Structure 1
Amino acid sequence: MTFFMRTARADDLQTLYEMAKLTGGGFTNLPPDRKALAAKLERTEQALARQGDDVEDELIVMVLENRQTGQVRGTCQIFSKVGQSWPFYSYRLGILTQYSRELNRTFRAEMLSLTTDLEGSAEVGGLFLHPRERAEGLGLLLARSRYLYIRNHRPRFGDRVIAELRGVIDEAGGSPFWDGLAGRFFGMSFQEADEFNAVNGNQFIADLMPKTPIYTAMLTDSARAVIGLPHPNGRAAMRMLETEGFVNAGYVDIFDGGPTMVGQIDSLRTVACARDVTLSATHERGGERVLVAAGRLSDYRCGYGFVKETADGLISLDAESAALLDLSLGDAFTMAGRS
């Protein structure tokens, strides 16, 4: 187990800042802003210090660490309950059908309606893997470690989880969706709005945008063409979400038009297939490569380990992974096969 996931600490700030500068814009959960990142780490510290098991509006930042070098090479985030501090707005893409008897014609108009349907959901986001580490299933480790964290702290989350994917950004760093819709009301470029959004959130858009449904036919062709599409760099993430059990239910981000995927926590593949087992022995080599996790709150760790299971259900884990998870014989840990 060279790489493993853990919860973030205050001393991860500089590394997170360096990674944030590599995102290329439009990545609102990982802004290249020290103050905003420090606030995220402070929220994480507060959430991990809380001992209660009720659902609150909390943020957990996690990082991918190279055990051999100590370097942090990736990150992801979990929001336990969105829409509590301020409304969580999305656009819902729908169809309005109308019929004219005089013309004997049926008209179907595609519409974007402002909604707070997803309020109260948990959210997974902020997933970023250093470009030099995009191999060996590490992106999948980042994603699935969040689901095991939610499973192993289940009372702290509701029933539904969402994932907002970054929308299409053009070569100049602009957003066709922003330019065709919200940008007309704010008098600022997408880059300016992106910087403000990353630090202050997108509530300013919801406050000033018209609340009436918007006919997509009134938008520019370029804006209409990207509604509900992920950024090219996010297509693999969308496929991972679909494999996990998320669906595209027609919700799009009010900022850049990217899709919002929706899933039921207990139906996610990682959650449904995970098992709590007891460590009966350790071994040096061999076994099935699976996801393993142990520890609560700030002690949570997750990575790939090698498991052997006997016919009578005894579990052996490779010694390196057992040590990294701080497991002794007789301790419990969670394992989940690869999706």
Structure 2
Amino acid sequence: MMLIRPIEKNDIDALYTMAENAGVGFTSLPADRQLLKDKMAAAEKAFNSDDNNESNQSYLFVLEDTENQAIAGVCGIESALGLDSPWYNYRLGTLVHASPSLKVYGQSKTLSLSNDHTGYSELCTLFLSQDYRHSKNGSLLSKSRFMFMANFPNRFHQRVIAEMRGVSDDEGNSPFWNGLGAHFFSMPFAQADNLSGLGNKSFIAELMPKLPIYIDLLSPSVQAVIGQVHENTLPALKMLENEGFQNLGYVDIFDGGPTIEADVRHIRAINQNKIYPVCIGQPSSTHLQIVSNTGCTSYRCTLANADKLPSGELLIDAKTAKALNLKTGDLIRSVSLSSTSLS
């Protein structure tokens, strides 16, 4: 069975291996063992914290293959961006230049440094090992975070964003960085990206241009990748768009990948999920549900077939109940894996 749970100290080796496999451009999962340990400690603190979002809390979950006792993936949520250190991205805008006397009118697309998402929550650190990229594992890994957010709405902002990885090649070369950022930072993309992942973001404000950047002045190869995603990230983008996320014109300052966002109340897996008392038996439905318990440190989430009973209970099998640490009468949260509602 594939099971989502909070990360634990014993997961460090698996997490480090995934960080190495993620490669350059995966800012929130740097291949630095001590930093990963720090992130795990921060996650443990978050799961044990009070139910509020007055400061940023970092939640990390893993996808565990319980039969093989292997960690297949990781995902995270940041509860409130920019409260501990500034949060930066570029906002796409338009400047109009006009001269009525000369009958000249023109529009120029621009990039402006922005802190607009300060305080927002963020979906982050999504990585699924290559051998497990099948059988809806990616959907479970990504959407399980919505079930946790539904359990604890006071821990998160009403708006949530997700940074999508931008275009880069197998060696980690980013056309956006090479054509723009490198002129101001005088360092390779991998180094700047690593510094940001280590939490050293002050250099961004110190070195980035404060005035709007005219996109027309950038080379065609740079313009072509603004707002575009890495080919491996396209499935994750489509999945979040189907859940209600939109591109409102923000891109990453390093690789130019899009930042998409949504109102939590409009995210399908949050506004359509329901809580039921548990009934244990053998469901007849073959329609997959995302099901979770309602715990925090004890949070568990998986995919399962389930039947809504006339009594108002949700019928799940004994294996699922055991995996979620649930017994008859306990509460279970459930939502359809797809946009089709549970009947």
Give the alignment's TM-score, normalised by structure 2: 0.95
Cα distance in structure 2, aligned partners of 1:201 and 1:290: 41
Cα distance in structure 1, aligned partners of 2:173 and 2:221: 12
Cα distance in structure 1, aligned partners of 2:73 and 2:315: 29
Which residue in the other structure is 1:27 paired with? Answer: 26
Cα distance in structure 2, aligned partners of 1:272 and 1:75: 24
TM-aligned CA deviation for residue 281 of structure 1: 3.1
In the alignment, is residue 152 of structure 1 matched against residue 142 of structure 2?
A: no
Query: 2:81–2:121: 8 Å Cα contact kept in structure 1?
Result: yes
- Comparing 108-117 and 216-225, the one that deviates more: 216-225
Cα distance in structure 1, aligned partners of 2:89 and 2:190: 20
- Structure 1: which amino acid aligns with 2:206? D
- Structure 2: which amino acid aligns with 1:270? A
In the alignment, is residue 278 of structure 1 matched against residue 297 of structure 2?
A: no
For structure 1, list consecutive stretches of 5 or more residues without a partner in the other structure: none
Cα distance in structure 2, aligned partners of 1:156 and 1:269: 19
Please give the residue correspondences for 1:62-211 in structure 2 after superposition, counting only pairs within 5 Å: 62-211=61-210
Which residue in the other structure is 1:333 paired with? Answer: 332
The one-character-per-residue Cα deviations of 1:187-239 (angstroms, maximum 9, x if unpaired) are 11112222222223444223321111111122222211111111111111111
Which residue in the other structure is 1:14 paired with? Answer: 13
SS for the counterpart of 1:271 is: helix
Cα distance in structure 2, aligned partners of 1:301 and 1:332: 12
- Comparing 290-299 and 262-271, the one that deviates more: 290-299
In the alignment, is residue 261 of structure 1 matched against residue 260 of structure 2?
A: yes
SS for the counterpart of 1:327 is: coil
The one-character-per-residue Cα deviations of 1:137-168 (angstroms, maximum 9, x if unpaired) are 11000110011111101111110000001111
For structure 2, list consecutive stretches of 5 or more residues without a partner in the other structure: 339-343
- Equivalent pairs counted in the alignment come to 338
Cα distance in structure 1, aligned partners of 2:280 and 2:268: 27
What percentage of residue pairs aligned between the two structures are identical? 37
Cα distance in structure 2, aligned partners of 1:61 and 1:305: 22
- Structure 2: which amino acid aligns with 1:25? V
SS for the counterpart of 1:64 is: strand
TM-aligned CA deviation for residue 87 of structure 1: 1.8
SS for the counterpart of 1:28 is: coil
The one-character-per-residue Cα deviations of 1:109-158 (angstroms, maximum 9, x if unpaired) are 00011111111100001111000110011100011001111110111111
Cα distance in structure 1, aligned partners of 2:253 and 2:52: 32
Cα distance in structure 1, aligned partners of 2:107 and 2:210: 21
The one-character-per-residue Cα deviations of 1:67-86 (angstroms, maximum 9, x if unpaired) are 11111010001000001012
SS for the counterpart of 2:60 is: strand
Cα distance in structure 1, aligned partners of 2:245 and 2:145: 14
Alignment RMSD, CA only? 1.5
Please give the residue correspondences for 1:314-329 in structure 2 after superposition, counting only pairs within 5 Å: 314-329=313-328
- Comparing 241-250 and 198-207, the one that deviates more: 198-207
- Structure 1: which amino acid aligns with 2:79? S
Which residue in the other structure is 1:45 paired with? Answer: 44
Task: Tell me which stretches of 4 or more aligned residues in structure 1 moved more than 6 Å.
Answer: none
Give the alignment's TM-score, normalised by structure 1: 0.96
Query: 2:159–2:264: 8 Å Cα contact kept in structure 1?
Result: yes
TM-aligned CA deviation for residue 297 of structure 1: 1.8
Query: 2:64–2:73: 8 Å Cα contact kept in structure 1?
Result: yes
- Structure 2: which amino acid aligns with 1:31? P
Which residue in the other structure is 1:247 paired with? Answer: 246
SS for the counterpart of 1:125 is: strand
Query: 1:55–1:157: 8 Å Cα contact kept in structure 2?
Result: no
The one-character-per-residue Cα deviations of 1:252-271 (angstroms, maximum 9, x if unpaired) are 01111110001011110000
